[in-house]
Amino acid sequence: MQKRKLGKSQLEVSALGLGCMGLSFAYGPAMDHQGALQLLRSAVEQGVTFFDTAEAYGPFLNEELVGEALEPYRGKVVIATKFGFQDGDIRKPLNSRPDHIRQVAEASLKRLRTDVIDLFYQHRVDPNVPIEDVAGAVNELIAEGKVRHFGLSEASSDTIRRAHAVQPVTALQSEYSMWWREPEKEIIPTLEELDIGFVPFSPLGKGFLTGAISPTARFGDNDFRHLVPRFSPEALEANQGLIKLVRELAANKAATPAQIALAWLLAQKPWIVPIPGTTKINRLEENIGATSVTLSEEELLKMDMALSRIPVVGERYPAFLQAMSGR
């Protein structure tokens, strides 16, 4: 597995990380415990060194799972987790008060079975707490050796700058893919200027860019996508033009649609590290295969021109989550 460094911090991780949320939260029934352990450990054996979790995934269950699975490999892997919701529950108000950040850190350390959190993200920007206070609280945890690096998620350019002035930000985690290119306008130039790494979540468009979701797909109540406008029947039908393009590109490169979507992301900047999630070992292997797909400048230019001609239909979040993004 190739390695990449996240920004000025020089935090080195595998070129592809693993988003762990779906193992226990948000995308239908949770995996059985032993199967999830096996998948996480298989990822390590195949060269993945970067694992993403959060107290809110469960709540708490995902951190416990990741902690158990990775304990034997702790010296070889980088674990990122997050704070920011009251009681770790996304249905409850945001809470990034400094005393709460410390409480979350202490609890996460125990669940992750470690003495230090490698990368500690603010899950969503809390409008009731100045970002300078948040950065200062994480700065104290870093000084105490409980956290190594500070990250933000779904933050605006202005918020990133203000936080970075207090405690250098190692990485921003936000959605970015062929299906959501908004970060290209302001976020990516800001990250490049400040030398901050970028960790795109949902790099496969919550599964859409794999080509495996048909226009007639329907999602159960325990699958977050049933709330997402972009996964409504009308939007799924309207967005098939993008899938057609990705399939054509994949056929030309003897790759899969998922590999093309990930290879496209990897080609954007050398400090971008996508974190696709999966519950299947064969999909894990497929995703890792994207690191071997090379796209030339000419191919990237043609892809960009083709993508620019395809309108994307539907909001990426339901209203209550959309309001928390880009603050």
Burial state string for 204-242 with b = 16 or more CB within 10 A and e = fewer than 16: bbbbbbbbebeeeeebeeebbbeebebbbeebbebbeeb
Catalytic residue of the set 27, 57, 121, 176: 57
Give dist(CA 92, CA 270) in Å, integer.
Answer: 37
Catalytic annotation on 121? no
Give dist(CA 85, CA 147) in Å, integer.
Answer: 19
Give dist(CA 143, CA 287) in Å, integer.
Answer: 36
Compute, in degrees rounded to 10, the torsion defined by CA atoms 251, 256, 261, 267. -80
Q: What tokens does 326 get?
A: 């880009």
Consecutive H or E run containing 18: strand 18-19
Identify whether the C-beta of residue 200 lies closer than 8 Å to the C-beta of residue 194. no
Q: Name the DSSP letter for residue 207.
A: G
Of 239, 183, 171, the closest CA to residue 207 belongs to 239
Catalytic residues: 57
